[in-house]
Amino acid sequence: MALTFRGGIHHEEEILTANLPLKEMPSPDFVTLPLSGHGADVARPLVAVGDRVLKGQKIADGEGNVAPIHASISGTVSAIGTYPTPSGEEECIVLQNDFKEELSPEVAPFDTPIGKTEPEALIRHIREKGIVGLGGTGFPTWAKLEEAQGKATRLIVNCAECEPFLTGIHRLLLEKTEEVVGGVKILMRAAGVEKAVFALEDDKEDAADAILKLVRGSQNFAVAVLKTKYPQGDERQLVRALLRKEIPKDALPTSVGAVVFNAETCWSVYRAFVSGMPSITRLLTVSGDCVKEPSNLLIPMGTSFRAVLDFCGGFSTKPDKLLSGGPMMGHALWSTAVPVTKKVGGILAITSPLYKASPCIHCGRCVKACPLQLIPSELYRSVEKGDMNNARFYDIEQCNDCGCCTYVCPARIPILQNIRVGKEILAKKRT
């Protein structure tokens, strides 16, 4: 029987793109590259307006949790300033394309065999290539590796893609299997871990077979099949389902001996070593009933949503909702004039019936669905009343934004929306 966790939901499948091979989008007229990292730190530009830059060249760097930023096209720095992004207003570098695709000399294969390289040197290279988690959080991969050393005994490859509509990871696993497995091997050496398990949902059997073909017979690798359920891709649920262990509140997977990397991150690591290409490509599913040609794409980082949607034929009908990400955890956007960043894995344009919320009927469905065993009805009520002490008492900050509570609520109460407001209020109070 497929492994799983308590709570969560099984949503109606909305898969328009599962059988569509990955397509490389040609580079756009310009790209907008945000300078912010994970948290509040921001990278410093290493270039000035008017400078010529080459594809793969490092154009900004910083300290702490900031990853170096690299040019995803060759061209000229046309502006440095504040621009709208899917995460709000951010400092960005804008590059105008010269369409010469000229590669920076920094883009070169790693020059020593991985097996003979010290883990610290591997970690330094991963940082230098700007690799962060591509599962949505943008957490620095080098920081995760440093944290894993000496604590983790098992690496989990998160191949779960549980949000409706999103299929890019599934295609990546089918089409770039060797590269993903190659990246996993590099990460294992960097983390000092001897065992890796690929975790996939049971609707991706073909991808599980493709991986098994490469790792069958090895004591170091396993493929685990999980029940197709949302939010299976959440690290806590993944660890719960696979290891039957609970990550303590405010702790990391290393507290139970595991380190988790998203499959696309593993692919980026492979490219960073084999060709020396930094993290300048984004895997993206563009989908929804309003998109003329739904697609799985590989696009230059920083391409605008508008250019991506144009490449997909534009809208067939005017969408009611434009989302950055999937329908469960994605953020609504009011404009297509924002760039695709390292935190964006999907673009959805959908028509959605307009529901009116009615009062809570105390059915308890939200409580049953919450994979973290929170009491969502209590959380949204506390935020509505402005009682942040109560919200905190009920652990609002533990909420992972999965949206299961909102999905199951028969009263159509925007529970997650309220919870997000509450978390923002508490975050502001802390700063």
Contacts with ligand SF4, residue ranges (CB under 6 A) = 360-366, 369-370, 372, 374, 376-377, 379, 399-405, 408-411, 413, 415-416, 419
The least CB distance from residue 1 to ligand SF4, in Å, is 24
Task: Residue 191: name the closest of 148, 130, 128 by CA.
Answer: 148
Q: Which is nearer to ligand SF4, 46 or 360 (CB)?
A: 360
The least CB distance from residue 354 to ligand SF4, in Å, is 18
Q: Which is nearer to ligand SF4, 208 or 404 (CB)?
A: 404
Given a contact cutoff of 8 angstroms between Cβ atoms, the answer to whether 305 and 337 are in contact is: yes
Q: Which is nearer to ligand SF4, 131 or 160 (CB)?
A: 160
The least CB distance from residue 106 to ligand SF4, in Å, is 41
How many other β-carbons are positioned within 10 Å of the β-carbon of residue 159? 27
Q: Which is nearer to ligand SF4, 259 or 369 (CB)?
A: 369
Q: Which helix (H) or strand (E) holds 266?
A: helix 263-274
Which residue in the block uniquely carries the two structure tokens 């690299």? 70
Sheet harboring 195-201: ordered strands across? 221-226, 195-201, 154-158, 258-262
d(CA 201, CA 65): 31
Q: Which is nearer to ligand SF4, 141 or 232 (CB)?
A: 232
Region for residue 93 given its phi and psi (left: phi exceeds 0; alpha: psi -120 to 50; beta: otherwise): beta
The least CB distance from residue 420 to ligand SF4, in Å, is 9
Integer CA distances (angstroms), 160 to 20, 54, 128, 163, 324, in order? 18, 35, 27, 9, 19
Q: Which is nearer to ligand SF4, 30 or 407 (CB)?
A: 407
The least CB distance from residue 237 to ligand SF4, in Å, is 10
The least CB distance from residue 37 to ligand SF4, in Å, is 25
The least CB distance from residue 76 to ligand SF4, in Å, is 43
Task: Write out the DSSP string of 154-173.
Answer: EEEEE----STT--HHHHHH
Token pair belonging to 341: 């960043």
The least CB distance from residue 395 to ligand SF4, in Å, is 9
Q: Which is nearer to ligand SF4, 150 or 364 (CB)?
A: 364
d(CA 329, CA 136): 10
Beta strands of 168-248 (E only): which ranges? 195-201, 221-226
Q: Which is nearer to ligand SF4, 65 or 390 (CB)?
A: 390
The least CB distance from residue 10 to ligand SF4, in Å, is 14
The least CB distance from residue 247 to ligand SF4, in Å, is 14
d(CA 306, CA 32): 12
Q: Which is nearer to ligand SF4, 14 or 401 (CB)?
A: 401
Q: What does the chain come to in residues?
A: 431
d(CA 118, CA 192): 10
d(CA 178, CA 110): 18
Given a contact cutoff of 8 angstroms between Cβ atoms, the answer to whether 208 and 180 are in contact is: no
Q: Which is nearer to ligand SF4, 132 or 379 (CB)?
A: 379
CA dihedral sign of residues 34, 127, 29, 176: negative
